[in-house]
Chains A and B, each alone.
Chain A
C-alpha cells in the first residue's frame, strides 16, 4: 500500500515542475508572415488578419480560438473621399466596447458587439483630435498633407476615451475624449511613459522622475492616477530592468496587485513593495502582448497565438545567452523550452576578442560580421565550437559559394554559418545611361571616360545628375584604390600599388577634370538634396547586391517603367582583362567553444539552418535555381483591384477638375495594377537569379577588416596629404607600398 501512495505522491510533486509547452493556436492563412493585429475585447483577444481579410477571437480563459464573421465598414462610410482606414485599437469598459479606426486625418470610435461568432460595427463618432494632426509637404503632389497621430495606448474608463501619445515635451501626453460625442479635454499629466487601466476608474501609469527620460540614470516611477482631479499616488519605483524606450505596454495584474512589463523577452512583475521579479518569458522581443480576463498574457508570433504564463515556476528551465543575435523571430518560438537572454555587447572587435580569450565573455551564441570580427583567429585558436555534427549544417555549408564557406571551416570542422550578406558597391542606371548615349562601363577607364564626357557635355542638363549624392576627389580616389586592391586580393596577388596596372588607373583618374578631383566636400541644403533626388542619376553610391534586388530592377527595365532609382550593381574591372570583383561582408552565427549550454546552442543553430529564408539561400547557395514567389501577391492583387473599383466609383460621382484628377490617378493605378499582375508574382525571378550568378558572382570576395582597405587605414592619411599638395601620386604609391609591406610582414 505504501508503495503506490509514494509513487502517487511523487507524481503529484513532479507534475508542477515539468516545464510546459506554452499553449498556442494557429491562424490558418496563406502565409506564415501574415500581418495580424491583436486587440483586447471583452476580456479576450480579437485578432484581425491581413487588413480585415479574416477575424478570430480568443476567449478570456484562453481555451477557445474561433473564427468570426465580420462585415467591416468601408473607409468611405467613415469619411467622404477616404479610400482606406487604419484599425487602431479596441477599447472597452463596463461591458461596452469600441473599435478605433482612423483615416488619414480623422479618428473614429465605433461601437462593436460580439454575438456568438459574429462581430458587428455601429455608427462612427468622430473624435476631435485636430491638435494631433501633423502637416508635411508632399512634393510629389506639390501640396501640404496632414497625417493624424493616433497614439500608442488607448483606454476606456466609463464614457471617456484616454489616448496616450508622444507630445512636444519629453514623455507622452494624455488626451481624453467623450467617446459618445468626440469632445476633447486635455489632461494635466506630465512625463508619462506608459499607462494601463487600474481599478475604480483610475489609471496606472509610469512616469519619469526627471525631465530627461532618455538620460542614462533616468528614474521611473509607477503611480496611480485619479482621473477626477489628476492627483497621483505612488505605486512603486521601477527597477533597472525597465526600459522605457522599448515601447512595450504595461499591464495591471489585479489578482496580485502588481504591474507587469516586458524588457526584451523577459516579463517582470513589480509589486507595491517595489519588489521586481522575473515571472514570464515571451519567445520574441517584437511580440506585442494582450492581457486576457483570466490574467494570462497572449501574444502573436508569425501566424500563432501563444499564451504566456506569468507563473515564475513555469519559466523555461534552459537558458541561452545571445550576443548581438537578431532577425530570428521565426526560430526562437520553436525552442519554447529555452529562455533567450541578450548579453551586453562590446564596443569593438578588439574588446570582444579580449573577452573571448580571458573567459570574460558571457555568451553562448554570437552573431558577428566578417568586417568587424575576422573569424580566422577565432577559428584557428579553437574559440568557436565545431558545428559539423549539427543536423543540416554540413549540407548547408557544402551548398554555399566557396568564398562564403572557406572562412568558417578549418581542418574538416565547421565553426560558423553565414546568415546574411551585405555589400558596399556603386550601382548604375542602365536606362539613364542609355538616354545619354552611354554604354554601361566595363573597366575603370570606361568609367572615367563617361564621367569626363558627362562633365564636358551634360553637366548643365538639369534633368540628370552624375551621382545620386555629392562625391569628391578624395572619396573617389579611395574607391579606386579599394577596387584595385580587392581585385588583387581576389586574384591572390600581393597588395602593392606600384604596378603598371595601377599606374594605368591613376592615369585614367588624373585625366578626370580637376573640378571633379577636388577634395572639397560640398555642403548641401535640404532644397538642394530634394532637387538632386528628383534628377536622373547615372550612378548610385550604394547598391543592394541580391537576387531579389536585381530581379526587381530587371522587371522594371523590362516593363520600361519610368523610375529614377532602377540601378544594377556596378562591377568594374580595374584594368583590361582583370576580373570584376564583387565584395561582400557576411554576418555569421557561431557558438562559443566554452559555452556551458552547448547542446541547446546547437539546437538553436539547427533551427536557424532549417528556417533559413529562401531569399537568404538565393544569395548564398551556389546554383540556387528556384524562383521565389511573393507570399503577398494574391492579397496585393486583391487590394489593388479594390482600390481601382473604389476609384472608379469616385470618378462616377465626381465632376470637373476633380474628375480629371481622379481619372489621372486611375490611369496610374491601372498601370501599377497591370505591372503588379505581370511582374509581381516573384520576388526573385529566374532572370534575376541568372544575372546574380553569372554576372555578379563570377569573382566574389569576402570583405574582412584588412588594415589596407576601406576607410580609416593608411590610405586615408595618404590621400589627405596628396590632396593637401604634400605629396605626388608617385610618393603616395611609394609610401603606401611601404606600409603595405610592413602590414604584410607583420601578419606572417
Chain B
C-alpha cells in the first residue's frame, strides 16, 4: 500500500513541482506585492493599495465593463453550446463532423480572426454596407461603444465550440436507459431535460459556466488590437487598466487589481458551489 502511494507521489511530483513554481509561488509573491509600497525596499503598507485602488474611478470602470462583458458572453456561450450539444446528440454518427466544424474557430489564432473582423466591421466594411442598405447611418463599430457588438460576437463565435465539446461529453455519459424509462413513464422532452439531463450534467454545466465566465472576464486582446491602450470607455476593461499600469512600472496597482478580481471571482463561484447540485451531491 505504501509502495503504491509512494509511486503515486513520484508520478505527481513533476506536475506538482511545476504547479508550485509557475502558479503557487508567483501567486503568493504577487499577493505580497499587493501589500507593499513598490519601492526598492518593498515596505509593508497594509490595505492602502486596495483602498486607493477601489477609489480609482478608472479601475471601477474597467471592472464594471469586464463584468458586463462577461455577463453577456458567458450566458450566451452557455445557452448556445448546450443547445448545440443537445442537437448534436440527436445527429449521432454525423455529429462528429459538425463538432469539428464548431471547434475550428477555437483553433484559429485570435489575431488572424481580428484582421478579418476589422475588415467586416470597418467604417466602409460589409456590415456597414448592410446597415446603409437598410436605410440607417453607418456605425463606428470599431471606435465607439458599439465595439461591444463585434467583440461579443467574436468571443462567442470563437469559444462556443470548446464548450460544445465539453457538454457533448457530459451528455454522452448519461445512460440512455434513463430517457427510455422516462419516456415509458410518459415524461415530455422538457421534463426529461429538466429532471434528467440538467441535474446529471449540473457539475459539468457549472464547469462550463465558470470557464466561460472567467475567460470572458479576461477579454482584452481583441479590444486592444482594435482600440489600442485607451479604447472607448464602454470597452475599457480591467485588463486595460492593468496593462497600462504595467507599462508605467506601477506593479502594485497591477497586483492589487488582479487579486481584487480573483477575490470577486472566488466569492461568486464559492457561493454557487454551495449548491449541492452544483457539487454533484444531489443525485
Contact = CB atoms under 8 A, between A and B. Distances in A.
Interface of A: 350, 353-354, 356-357, 374, 377-378, 380-383, 593-594, 707, 714, 717, 721, 724, 726-727, 735, 738-739, 742-743, 745-748
A742 B230 contact: yes
B40 A594 contact: yes
A384 to B, nearest CB: 9
Contacts of B38: 381
B180 interface: no
Contacts of B228: 714, 717
A165 B56 CA distance: 64
Nearest to B41: A382
Nearest to A592: B40
B170 interface: no
Given A726-B140, A746-B244, A748-B56, A378 B230 contact: no
A743 B58 CA distance: 9
A745 B60 CA distance: 11
A714 B230 contact: yes
Given A735-B232, A738-B233, 6 more contacts: A350-B246, A593-B40, A594-B40, A707-B230, A738-B232, A742-B230
Chain B contact surface mostly: loop
Contacts of B248: 374, 377, 747
A637 to B, nearest CB: 53
Contacts of B143: 721, 726, 735
Nearest to A740: B230
Contacts of B247: 350
Interface of B: 38-41, 56-58, 61, 123, 140, 143, 228-230, 232-233, 236, 241, 244-251
Chain A contact surface mostly: helix
Contacts of A353: 249
Contact of A745 (B40, B41, B56): B56
Contact of A382 (B39, B232, B251): B39
A738 B233 CA distance: 8
Given A350-B247, A381-B249, A707 B229 contact: yes
A200 B129 CA distance: 82
30 contacts: A350-B246, A350-B249, A356-B249, A357-B249, A374-B248, A377-B248, A378-B249, A380-B39, A381-B38, A381-B39, A381-B249, A382-B40, A382-B41, A594-B40, A714-B228, A714-B230, A721-B143, A724-B123, A726-B123, A726-B140, A727-B140, A735-B143, A735-B232, A742-B58, A742-B61, A742-B230, A745-B56, A746-B56, A747-B248, A748-B56
Contacts of A742: 58, 61, 230, 233, 236
A383 B140 contact: no
A348 to B, nearest CB: 9
B54 to A, nearest CB: 13
B102 to A, nearest CB: 35
Contacts of B244: 746
Nearest to B40: A382
B39 A377 contact: no
A720 B61 CA distance: 27
Contacts of B61: 742
A485 to B, nearest CB: 15
A357 B251 contact: yes
B183 to A, nearest CB: 58
Contact of B40 (A354, A381, A727): A381
B233 A383 contact: no
Contacts of B246: 350
B53 to A, nearest CB: 11
Contacts of A377: 248-250
Nearest to A593: B40
A381 B249 CA distance: 10
A738 B230 CA distance: 10
Contact of A746 (B40, B58, B123, B140): B58
A353 to B, nearest CB: 4
A727 B143 CA distance: 11
A308 B272 CA distance: 75
Contacts of A382: 39-41
Given A353-B249, A383-B40, A746-B241, A739 B56 contact: no
Nearest to B241: A746
Contacts of A721: 123, 143
Most chain-A Cβ atoms within 10 A of its Cβ — which of B40, B236, B251? B40
Nearest to B244: A746
A747 B246 CA distance: 12
A738 B236 CA distance: 12
Contacts of A726: 123, 140, 143
A102 B228 CA distance: 58
Given A350-B247, A382-B40, A748-B56, A743 B123 contact: no
A594 B42 CA distance: 13
Nearest to B144: A735
Contacts of B233: 738, 742
Nearest to B253: A746
Contact of B230 (A724, A739, A748): A739
B8 to A, nearest CB: 36
